[in-house]
């Protein structure tokens, strides 16, 4: 198994461990309200889903059947990991800020930066997955022409 597949497996295991750790904390999650309806999911759901994506890519990459481009695989790993780290850091900061009783509901400069990092993590992660989809199609087309 090559280095990037090993890194994907390690990050996947760390994400699962973090999801298991968050079950020990006070329950928290994301709630989206639309009109009179509210939809919510826990942070464990997000972390387990991300860990599953990392493990799926590890499996696809380590099988060696699909000839992925090495550069695109590395970019996919680093963009995905960067998006996950931004998501976890922003969510942790917003969670801890919500637990502190403060007189002012303002986030401040640091809070705004962490909220922006939290919100920007989702597009970064989605861009990395789109990158992987394009790389997969290119690899499958290259495999067909071989």
Q: How confident is the model over 23-54, as pLDDT tens digits?
A: 777 666 666 777 788 777 777 888 888 888 88
And the tokens for 92? 């942790």
Range of the domain at 75: 3-145
Q: What is the mean pLDDT of residues 87-107?
A: 70
Q: How confident is the model at residue 1 (pLDDT cuts 50, 70, 90)?
A: very low
Based on the structure, what is the number of domains in the chain? 1
Q: How many CB atoms lie within 10 A of CB 17?
A: 12
pLDDT attached to residue 116: 80
- Separation between Cα atoms, residue 33 and residue 118, nearest integer Å: 19
Q: How far apart are CA 73 and CA 55, in angstroms?
A: 14
Sheet strands (E) in 1-146: 29-34, 37-42
Cα(6)–Cα(62) distance, rounded to whole angstroms? Answer: 9
Q: Are 8 and 57 in contact (CB under 8 A)?
A: yes
- What's the predicted TM-score (pTM) here? 0.71
């Amino acid at each position: 198994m090559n280095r990037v597949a090993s890194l994907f497996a390690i990050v996947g295991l760390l994400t699962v461990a973090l999801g298991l750790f968050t079950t020990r904390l006070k329950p928290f999650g994301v709630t989206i309200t639309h009109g009179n309806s509210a939809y919510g999911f826990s942070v464990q759901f997000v972390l387990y889903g991300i860990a599953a994506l990392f493990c799926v890519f590890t499996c696809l990459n380590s099988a060696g059947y699909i000839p992925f481009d090495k550069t695109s695989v590395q970019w996919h790993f680093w963009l995905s990991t960067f998006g996950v780290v931004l998501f976890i850091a922003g969510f942790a900061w917003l969670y801890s800020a919500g637990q502190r009783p403060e007189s002012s509901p303002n986030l401040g400069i640091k809070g705004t930066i962490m909220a922006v990092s939290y919100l920007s993590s989702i597009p970064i992660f989605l861009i990395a997955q789109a990158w992987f989809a394009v790389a997969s199609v290119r690899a499958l087309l290259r495999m067909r022409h071989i």
